[in-house]
Structures are given as C-alpha cells and as structure tokens.
Structure 1
C-alpha cells in the first residue's frame, strides 16, 4: 500500500506553502510512490476567519508594529510555554473539524510548515489522536508556539534553531538540522547571460527587488532610491500579491524606462535570481534560503517586526547578507556593484561555505526515514 503524507500549511504569506511544495517535490524525487497532499488548512476549513486573521496580521505588522514586536519577543522567551488558551484559540478559530480531514486522508505522517497547524495537531495528539508529526521550521528563529512536545521530529533551519528548541524543552534527539526546503530549480545557478536572454532582459548589472508574497518590506522606498540609477543598471521589482503597489508603480512615469521591469506575483523567482547580481529583499525565511541556495548576495531592507528581525540578525551576524536602512545605503551598494564589485567578495565566500554545508535532500531523507520505521 502506498504511504500517505499530509503537509499542512497556512495561507499567511507564501513562504510556508512554498516550503511545503518544495518538500513534497523533493520527497517525490526520492520516492515517487509516496502519495502527498498539501493543504492550507485554515483557509480550507474556515476561509472567512482565515482572511480576517490575515487582515489583522497585516494591520498589526504595519500600523501596530511596536505592539506586534512586544508580543513576538514575549513568545520568544525560552522560560515560557504556549498557554493552553492560545492553543485552544488557534484551534477553535482556524482548525475546528481538522480531525475529520485527518480521518478522511488517513496519513502515515503529518508535516506542518506553520506553527499554527503544528500547535493544533499537537493538541489533537494530546487528546488521543495517533499520528506521527513532523514540523518544519521556516525561519532562522523560533518562538514558543513552534515548540510542542507532541512533535515527533523537528526539521530545523540551522544549528541556532536547534539550540533554541532545546531551550524550549524539546529533546535534541527529536531535532534534525535540514535547512529550509527549496525546490530543485534553486539548487544550481545558471549562466547570467543565458538567464537574461531567456527572460528578454538587457545584459546589464541587474538588481532584483522583492517584498515576499504579500509585497511588503518597503518596496516603494527601495524603488524610489534606485530610480536615479536607471540608466546604469537594470532593476526588476516584484510586488507579489500587492496589486495596488504594482499599479501605482506602473502608473508612475518615472518608472517607465526600458531598464525597469515591474512584476506582480510570479513563479519564476529561480530564473530571476539567475539573472540578478544582487537581491534586495525583506528577510523572509524561505526567500533568503532560496537566495543563499542560488548564491546571490542579499541586501536586506524593512524586516517585519518579530521573526524577520531575528532572521535579519542571524543572516547579517554571519555575514551572509547586508542590512540597508536608508537611501544612502542603497546608493552606496549600487555604486559598489558598478565600480567596486570586489566589495561583495566576502559575501560570496560566506555564501559558498553555507552552500557546501547545506544538503537540499536532507528534509526528504528525514521524512522517508520516518515512513520506513
């Protein structure tokens, strides 16, 4: 009988689901007989509430960012555990009837790429539901909602996350450092000239600007800072699902230039990274891991309070990325790209060391080992 794997994500941004899709792809490459289901579970079970939670989240990280940061920092204290009321609230709002989905699919393993789904599965396990549960950490930092004793195996993005989980009381025997799953399109970097030709781009120094699937991260500020360089470089702006931002940029005469490309949500990020010399992005976990896997230098801007600030701290602290805070920083690094490209040498060397330690098959190996037990 074919083994069944159910991967649960949430529709809050795109990174968690992209990680789920990447893990599913790599499992299938290693063992095609495994039957895999991917569900954005909150959106499927309670779409109206899911959309409300997403709107509240976006409002919190923009209008009330100071409050969101306080909440996140509190949840990150290792001497705290997830309160039962919070787990119950997550379950009642987003995951009521989750048990019916599980009974219908009857998976051999459930994998969660978001702390909410992991929390609710853990709650069900405490109440008697029997299933092997694997949780994939999709950032370079964890908070207490990730840390659930009912999880059988954790896939940690790095050694620091492993240590943090241990501080939250998770046994080190349950944790495997696998990195964040990325699709095979990101495993190798293609020739820049060929990549630019295939995308009908100019063969110029190229900067890719991204703000994640939600199109956040101060993209407009970055675009305004880059506009003075439009005759010297080519820049590609990806606005994600932020259609209002895309329309605003397209309607602005300053951005109507043959060296400026404005895109919405696209599925060709791997090709754009092949064509780019530098990525300017907010530090979403999956986006940064994709860029590191491709070997692209990153300039990080506008981290969301909480997890992305910790992601930024991790990457910058290990010289895997550079943080830019204002227009002057943008000008400084674009000038270096054009006149002193050797300024990026240290980044390239550190990224290469990262790549040598990273095994893109590691996550699939963990799942297949668990299925074989």
Structure 2
C-alpha cells in the first residue's frame, strides 16, 4: 500500500480527534493515493447510500479503487429484505414502535447480542464481500459496523475499520467495539459517540455531493423555480420526509399553509398515495420523486424536515435554512435535538410556534456552508497511519492520529 496524504487540519472551532488534529477542509485538490477501500452501506432509506456514494466519489478522485456493497444483499436469504421491509412498515404504519425499538436496543448487552447474531448469519458473506487485502473498510450503516467491528476485534480483518456516522445523534448500535475510528458530522455527535465508548472520534464533516451549493444570485432562483413550475412571488417551504415520504407529512404541509407565511412544496418521494392526498389541497404543491434536488433546494427559501437525515445536510450545504417539525419518533427526535443543539436547525415542538419559526427562517441570514469538510481526507489519513493497520487493541500515537 502506498498512501501519501497532506497533514490534516482542524476544522473551525478546534480539534476532535482525541486531542489531535481533525479533518481538512474541502478546499484544494484531494491527495493522490493508491489502495482499495471497501464501503458497506444499506439501501434502507436514502441517507446511508447517499453518504456512501459521495465518499466513494471523493476517494476515487483521490486515486483509490472503491468497492461498494449493500448490507441488505450481504445478509443471507430473506434477512435483508425483512430488515428493509420491517423498517419501512414500522415508519409507515406504527412509527411510535420504532422509537420503542430503538430505546430497547440502546444497551450494551443489546449491541453485543446484535453483533453475535450478525456474526453467525453473515460473517462468511461479509468476508467474501470485503475480499483480500483492503486498505480500509468503511461502514455507513450501524448494523454493518457491528459486524465489521467484531471481525476486526477477533483479528479476522487486518485492515483498519472506520464508521461514518450519518446521523446527527448517535445510537449505541453505531458504536462497535472493534471499529478503529468514527467520523462524525459535528462536535455534538462526536461527543455522544465518545460517551458511548467510540474510539478515535473525528469531526469529518458531511458527505454531501458538490451539486449542493448556495444559489449564485436571484436570477438562478428564478430559473430554478421555472424548472419546477413553482410560483415566483411567494416564499416556498420545501417539505421533505425521506425517499418513502413517511411521517405526519399531510399535517405538516397543511399547518404550513395555514400560517400563510410560506407555500408548502412537498417532495413525496415514492409515496404516490401521499401525493394524491396533498394534490387535493390547492394551497399545497405536491411533487413525486425528484431527480434534481440541488436545483429544487435553490428554488426554495427553507426546508421543513422530520428525520434529521441527509436532506438536512444537503439543505445546509445549499445555504437553505432548516426547520424540524412533527419529527419521527426515535432517531427523528434525537436528530432534531442534536441539530438544534448544534445551531443547525430550529426544532418546532408546538404548532403555535410554527409561524414565528417560518418567518425567522425566511427573513434570517443565509445559512453558512459549515457542513462541508473533506471526510475522505480523514479516511486517507487513517489508512496512512501504521498503528491503525496493526492488530486491533494497540493505541496509535498522537502523531499518527
């Protein structure tokens, strides 16, 4: 393996790598490297795959070979389909039960039990997917991290294992004992990860594609609205609820319309029933699946979301303010709290507070582009650190970090 990286610089506000330096900014060309990175994501929602796709793009631009795998496919038989289908069903039919399940899975014994089950049913398939002699194995999904961490802990995997935390809040399942490093979006999830026992936590920034950027001028806003047939003279609130369009989206859209402060533009994703219901209200603009989200975001004045996932980060990177409203139970609520603590999004807990929150978002200052760091540089820095490539359990030096 030959890896040549520039020394990483701490992001604004200081360091987050156990006292050492953190990720570099997104400015400048990525260092050229050689090697192979294996990325394991999961086609459960869009956030895990979206982060994996952007990290793969950055790493390939740096000269690395990248192999991507879907954890749903790695699980044997019908296990993967049951996992994805069960998650979808819970969020659609009984979302409160998802919060209960996440609470029940929050203990150390539960995490150990999950990793044991995954090791029994999917160890061989995971090792086959990883293949021989990877430079780094990277996970963007917590259950994949549990299995990869166990393989690392048992020294079946020689390469460093890195988890990219795609959420602003960190559930205990995200932290696997054998994982060498955890990349966090912000200091808030970094602190949570450390409190759960995560090793070598780095603020690596959001893995958001370069198409998401602030609009250049007012003319670009006009053009973006024309592309989607949106009104030119009204504040627009882009309402998002993931690729499945789950949660209290109907009520959120109608509440926004009732305030008179903004016109709700709802992205229903693949939920055609939701789109049909909303289309009956003339105050609401209901869209189906959208291929060009960067342009749609530049057409709107704020984003109203309920899960705190990738779309929130894409919005912030696009310079569009974010408001959390009627959030999903479980990870939606914990992400909302973390986004608010970080100062990245208002969490509107009561309907009466919604008009003021929308007005603040529409008339307030442009959201700074403070989410874009070069996460891939951090991955490369770990790949270059010899102590991390040795047997698990050794502590790397400060200089290696």
Distance 1:306 1:93, change over 3 A: farther
Structure 1 residues without counterparts, runs of 5 or longer: none
Distance 1:331 1:18, change over 3 A: same
Bigger mean CA deviation after superposition, 324-333 or 52-61: 324-333
Offset, 1:215: 0.8
Contact residue 280 and residue 300 of structure 1 kept, 8 A = yes
Higher helix fraction (1 or 2): 1
The one of 281, 286, 289 equivalent to 1:265 is 289
Offset, 1:310: 1.1
| Secondary structure of residue in 1 paired with 2:323 | strand
Residues 144-177 of structure 1, C-alpha deviations (whole Å, 9 max, x = no match): 2211232122111221222222222233xx2211
Residues 178-218 of structure 1, C-alpha deviations (whole Å, 9 max, x = no match): 12211111244343223223444331322211101121131
Contact residue 136 and residue 180 of structure 1 kept, 8 A = no
The one of 55, 79, 84 equivalent to 2:85 is 55
Contact residue 106 and residue 171 of structure 2 kept, 8 A = yes
The one of 127, 147, 151 equivalent to 1:99 is 127
Cα separation, 1, equivalents of 2:204 and 2:164: 9
Bigger mean CA deviation after superposition, 299-308 or 314-323: 314-323
Distance 1:51 1:132, change over 3 A: same
TM alignment of 1:222-371, pairs within 5 A: 222-227=252-257, 234-250=263-279, 252=280, 254-255=281-282, 260-325=284-349, 328-333=352-357, 336=359, 341-342=362-363, 344-345=364-365, 348=366, 351-352=367-368, 355-356=369-370, 358-361=371-374, 363-371=375-383
Q: Is 1:15 aligned with 2:47?
A: yes
TM alignment of 1:196-215, pairs within 5 A: 196-204=225-233, 205-215=235-245
The one of 129, 144, 164 equivalent to 1:136 is 164
| Secondary structure of residue in 2 paired with 1:196 | helix
Cα separation, 2, equivalents of 1:93 and 1:282: 34
The one of 219, 222, 225 equivalent to 1:193 is 222
Alignment match, 2:195? 167
Distance 1:206 1:94, change over 3 A: farther
Offset, 1:331: 4.6
Cα separation, 1, equivalents of 2:194 and 2:88: 31
Distance 1:39 1:264, change over 3 A: farther
Cα separation, 2, equivalents of 1:68 and 1:163: 24
Contact residue 183 and residue 203 of structure 2 kept, 8 A = yes
TM-score by structure 2 length?
Answer: 0.77
TM alignment of 1:108-147, pairs within 5 A: 108-127=135-154, 128-147=156-175
Contact residue 49 and residue 94 of structure 1 kept, 8 A = no
Offset, 1:279: 0.8
| Secondary structure of residue in 1 paired with 2:173 | coil
Q: How many residues align?
A: 348
The one of 43, 68, 72 equivalent to 1:42 is 72
| Secondary structure of residue in 2 paired with 1:37 | strand
Structure 2 residues without counterparts, runs of 5 or longer: 2-33, 386-401
| Secondary structure of residue in 1 paired with 2:178 | coil
Contact residue 119 and residue 148 of structure 1 kept, 8 A = yes
Contact residue 164 and residue 182 of structure 2 kept, 8 A = yes
Offset, 1:124: 2.0
Cα separation, 2, equivalents of 1:90 and 1:266: 35
Distance 1:330 1:112, change over 3 A: same
